[in-house]
Amino acid sequence: MAAAYPALKDRPISNTICLFDVDGTLTYPRGEATPEMLSLLHALRQKVAIGFVGGSDLIKQQEQIGAPARANVTTLFDFCFSENGLTAFKLGEPLATHSFISWLGEPKYKELVNFILHYIADLDIPIKRGTFVEFRNGMINVSPIGRNASAKERDEYQVYDLEHKIREKFVGVLREKFGHLGLTYSIGGQISFDVFPTGWDKRYCLQHLEKEAKEPGGVEYTTIHFFGDKTEVGGNDHEIYSDPRTIGHAVKDFEDTMSQVKKLFDL
């Protein structure tokens, strides 16, 4: 049976929302949320609104948070922001949003993806697998080794990439050649990088909260806490962490998130 929570406007601290990055903040990197984390989120949700804002798509957040809770991840948070909020849910219902392809247009996208695929074809790296470009609603994700790499192959690739700067050089070339497209390239994980319109970083999700405030009966969140582990310059949590609309909390790992949340909200 789904857990019961007070309506958003009736939460004890109703002007406050806690937003969490996923990988490394709510879970081990690429891992699953622990029972302790799930139970803390449940307790926190009795007091304030909660949401996640992840760079990955909803499928990944379902695996990392929904599956261990044996629930649909969209029922575990008041707001779910996948792909930085380009796929968004409020209380389990989808919110209207934009798409990468309608923003960029087919001709420019084709030019970009053709270049990327040629570049990867010419890359001499130890192994290649499949799915080199993953097409998502709000971004594309580009992986030189391919997203079908196994866990072991991922770990090995990450070490290789750090040493040979494969992704860093790739992104440098794309910035140079496609500078006119207004895209941001973000290396957030182990084997890939994300490409999305500039400004569609994690701050994008704040637009949904601003709209929520204007809805009839909607809640205005005057205090927005954000917790993330990649808050340094260049990390994919940096922009929302340092945005004046949020109170940023840098965490070392999910255990640190738990201890900061407990302290802040007396849980």
- Active site residues per annotation: 21, 23
Cα separations in angstroms, 177 against 85, 116, 117, 199: 27, 11, 14, 20
Tell whether 243 is in a known binding site.
yes
DSSP element (H, E) containing 158: helix 151-164
**Shortest distance in whole angstroms from residue 103 CB to ligand M1P:** 18
Of the two residues 16 and 143, which places its CB atom closer to ligand M1P in the complex?
Answer: 143
Q: Distance (Å, rounded) from C-alpha 150 to C-alpha 161?
A: 16
Annotated binding-site residue? 154: yes
C-alpha closest to that of 52 among 66, 71, 69, 68 = 66
Which one, 78 or 194, has the nearer CB to ligand M1P?
Answer: 194
State the DSSP string of 199-240.
T-SGGGGHHHHHHHHHSTT----SEEEEEES--STTSTTHHH
Least separation in angstroms between residue 236's CB and ligand M1P is: 6
Shorter beta-carbon distance to ligand M1P: residue 175 or 262: 175
> What sign has the CA pseudo-torsion 68, 73, 78, 79?
positive
21 in a labelled binding site = yes
**Residue 136 is labelled as binding a ligand:** yes
DSSP 83: G
Least spacing, CB of residue 143 vs ligand M1P, in Å: 6
> What's the token pair of residue 76?
């575990």
Nearest position to ligand M1P, beta carbon: 189
Residue 241 is labelled as binding a ligand = yes
Both structure tokens of 93: 């219902």
> Cβ closer to ligand M1P: 78 or 161?
161
**Residues 14, 184: contact at Cβ < 8 Å?**
no
Residues that bind ligand M1P (CB under 6 A): 23, 54-56, 60, 141, 188-192, 194, 236
CB of residue 29 vs ligand M1P: minimum separation in angstroms?
A: 8
Binding residue positions for Mg(2+): 21, 23, 229, 241, 243, 246
Binding residue positions: 21, 23, 30, 136, 147, 154, 192, 194, 229, 241, 243, 246
